[in-house]
């Protein structure tokens, strides 16, 4: 293979990757995006909600670092979610400036509702893949690792 042919093949493969990635993302995310619209939360608010679900007791500063946004932006998002009754601000006896965040019952219900509706869809897609599921999972794990490494740079 000549150098030009090799570059063409790499370019074609990268094009297929981009097309496949965006098609899969669009097809797989349609259900989730519809649920989010129904919940009337913005994507940044949902990111806060799901991060607090993953890390109960997280502070606003820690949350800002996890999400890669400013503390003031995070504070505004937290306030809106607290006003809607989805997030509760706690208190810390060690440091009164550190306010741990928790989901309220309504916040847990909403996060669970979104998961309950998405999970059957993902299970059906996994079933549709059949014998290829193991290969797809391996490829997705590699994709996630590569994406994390690139994002960290």
Question: How much is the average pLDDT of 92-106?
Answer: 81
Per-residue pLDDT reduced to its tens digit, 39-69: 888 889 989 999 999 999 999 999 999 999 9
Does position 97 have pLDDT exceeding 70, yes or no?
no
Residue 10's pLDDT is what? 86
Dmax of the chain from CA atoms? 69
Domain residue extents for the chain: 10-40+105-153, 41-103
Q: Is residue 126 within 8 Å of residue 116, measured between CB atoms?
A: no
Q: What is the dihedral of CA 51, 140, 113, 87, to 10 degrees?
A: 0
pLDDT tier, 92 (very low <50, low <70, confident <90, very high otherwise): low
Average pLDDT, the chain: 88
Q: Which CATH number fits domain 41-103: 3.20.20.20, 1.10.10.10, 3.30.70.330, 2.40.30.10?
A: 1.10.10.10
Per-residue pLDDT reduced to its tens digit, 132-146: 999 999 999 999 999
């Amino acid at each position: 293979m000549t150098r030009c042919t090799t570059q063409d093949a790499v370019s074609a493969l990268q094009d297929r990757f981009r097309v496949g990635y965006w098609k899969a993302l669009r097809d797989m995310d349609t259900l989730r995006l519809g649920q989010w619209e129904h919940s009337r939360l913005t994507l940044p608010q949902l990111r806060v909600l799901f991060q607090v679900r993953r890390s109960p007791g997280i502070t606003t500063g820690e949350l800002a670092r996890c999400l890669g946004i400013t503390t003031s932006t995070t504070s505004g998002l937290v306030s809106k979610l607290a006003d809607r009754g989805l997030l509760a601000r706690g208190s810390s006896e060690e440091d009164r400036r550190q306010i741990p965040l928790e989901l309220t019952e309504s916040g847990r219900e909403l996060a669970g509702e979104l998961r309950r509706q998405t999970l059957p869809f993902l299970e059906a897609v996994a079933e549709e893949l059949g014998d290829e599921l193991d290969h797809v999972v391996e490829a997705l794990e590699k994709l996630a690792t590569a994406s994390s490494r690139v994002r960290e740079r």
